[in-house]
Amino acid sequence: MTKKRTSSDIHLAVGGPETSTSRNLSRRCFLGQTARFCCQAGITAMVFGNLAPGAVFADSGSGALQNPSGSRSGADGTKLFDRDFVPGYVQLQESGKLSKRADELWDIMSNCRLCPRECGANRHRGQTGFCQSPGNRLFISSAMPHFGEERPLVGRGGSGTIFLTHCSLRCVFCQNYEISHLGRGHERGVEEMAGMMLQLQRLGCHNINFVTPTHYSAFILKALNEASARGLRVPVVYNTCGWERLEILALLDGVVDIYLPDFKFWDSDHSIELTAGTDDYPDLTKEAILEMHRQVGVARPNRNGVMQRGLMIRHLVMPNEVGGSVEILDWVTENLPKDTYVNIMAQYNPYHKAFDFPEISRRITGEEYRQVVDHAKELGLTNLDIQGHRWLRR
């Protein structure tokens, strides 16, 4: 799944495993993120997930979480919300429905159909499906305030990002392949994940942002049920590749506040070649995005500039028009309101196995990006997130 900027940027800041991506982090960006976050939480609170088990923040028992240094953070991710805002999952938790939804998703894992692969693995018997997520165990790579996501998700306190391991789509150019393909992370319990959510809220994050959530959706709802009962009140972001089953989305209706799907490919020939044979990626993603829009509507930040609810589409512009940017924008214009939020992303890089595919073995040019942006503007789309990197002006 593509992200606006990789969260593994921050791994570098705490001496986590250095990755090729983290090496690309500019010094200025690194210092800015580090200073901002340290002011809020203390340096030891930088990352809690990609460390050894046991390094997760502890709950003090009073509902007020403490970081490992013992100091209490004064931040609260809900501070910039509208006074009457209540995340959708709270009502479902209070009525007992969230727990039932979680159980339904849990049961589906016995003949797994959580994602469109529908590979039928019995995860409760330890079987591993196409996504490689290990049976019915939960693995998390990291959980952290992330300042590289879309501005309305970042706000002042960052997006509370929880990176889950493995993926069922498996793009050959994935910039997070160490997490999504190689499964780099640590086993966690549902209670631990609930604690992470509460800690992110306390650190000032304005949302809980689940990255690559589909194959762990049952765990997410279970953890959310617990976290909600313990006071979680920030919106949930479902940060997905867009390739989702309607049956699963129906169980997320009212749970997810902000859908953040990619729309990667228009042409199934490309999705077959570049995502482990998914010929139905374009069709299922269109259906899924329409359903997401039906559930949460247009994404509009509140008066403080923070997103509370809505559909935010990401489209990564790829070299040689491989993604079908023009057709995707045409489709958005014809099927969704003109003020649908679309992030036209420019940061494609040939990661992982991309060099095996000549068409996608380079970055995009400024001209390629400009053409897509111009087309979006000509179509009259009004809620565009456009990047202005210096190299794009060349």
Which residues are near ligand SF4 by CB under 6 A? 112-115, 117-119, 121, 123, 129-131, 133, 168, 215
314 in Cβ contact with 365 (< 8 Å):
no
Quick one: 184 or 309, whose CB is closer to ligand SF4? 184
Helices 88-95 and 217-229, axial angle in degrees (round to 10): 80
Task: Provide the pairing of β-strand 310-316 with 341-345.
Answer: parallel
Quote the least distance from Cβ 132 to ligand SF4, whole Å.
8
Quick one: 188 or 309, whose CB is closer to ligand SF4? 188
Quote the least distance from Cβ 256 to ligand SF4, whole Å.
17
Quote the least distance from Cβ 123 to ligand SF4, whole Å.
6
Quote the least distance from Cβ 120 to ligand SF4, whole Å.
7
Quick one: 133 or 228, whose CB is closer to ligand SF4? 133
Q: Which residue has the tokens 């050894």?
A: 52
Distance CA 270, CA 102 (A): 34
Quote the least distance from Cβ 162 to ligand SF4, whole Å.
17
Distance CA 355, CA 311 (A): 33
Quick one: 138 or 328, whose CB is closer to ligand SF4? 138
Starting at the edge strand found earlier in the chain, the sheet holding 236-240 runs 186-188, 138-146, 159-164, 208-211, 236-240, 258-261, 310-316, 341-345, 384-386
Which DSSP letter does residue 240 get?
E
Quick one: 141 or 228, whose CB is closer to ligand SF4? 141
Distance CA 35, CA 217 (A): 33
Candidates 167, 200, 171; CA nearest to 184 is 167
Quote the least distance from Cβ 273 to ligand SF4, whole Å.
19
Quick one: 278 or 347, whose CB is closer to ligand SF4? 278
Burial class (CB in 10 A: 0-12, 13-18, 19+), 391: exposed
Distance CA 328, CA 67 (A): 44
Distance CA 235, CA 201 (A): 10
Quote the least distance from Cβ 174 to ligand SF4, whole Å.
15
Enumerate helices (H) and strands (E) in the chain, giving the number of each. Answer: 13, 11
CA 101 to chain centre: 21
Provide the token pair at 79: 């501070």
Question: CB under 8 Å to 328, separation ≥6 — which residues?
Answer: 263, 266, 315
Quick one: 117 or 202, whose CB is closer to ligand SF4? 117
Quick one: 121 or 364, whose CB is closer to ligand SF4? 121
Quote the least distance from Cβ 173 to ligand SF4, whole Å.
20
Quote the least distance from Cβ 138 to ligand SF4, whole Å.
13
Quick one: 80 or 131, whose CB is closer to ligand SF4? 131
Quote the least distance from Cβ 131 to ligand SF4, whole Å.
3
Q: Which amino acid is at 268?
A: S
Distance CA 120, CA 57 (A): 35
160 in Cβ contact with 208 (< 8 Å):
yes
Which DSSP letter does residue 88 get?
H
Candidates 66, 69, 82; CA nearest to 206 is 82
Quick one: 114 or 329, whose CB is closer to ligand SF4? 114
- Of all residues in this chain, which one has the CB nearest to ligand SF4 in the complex? 129
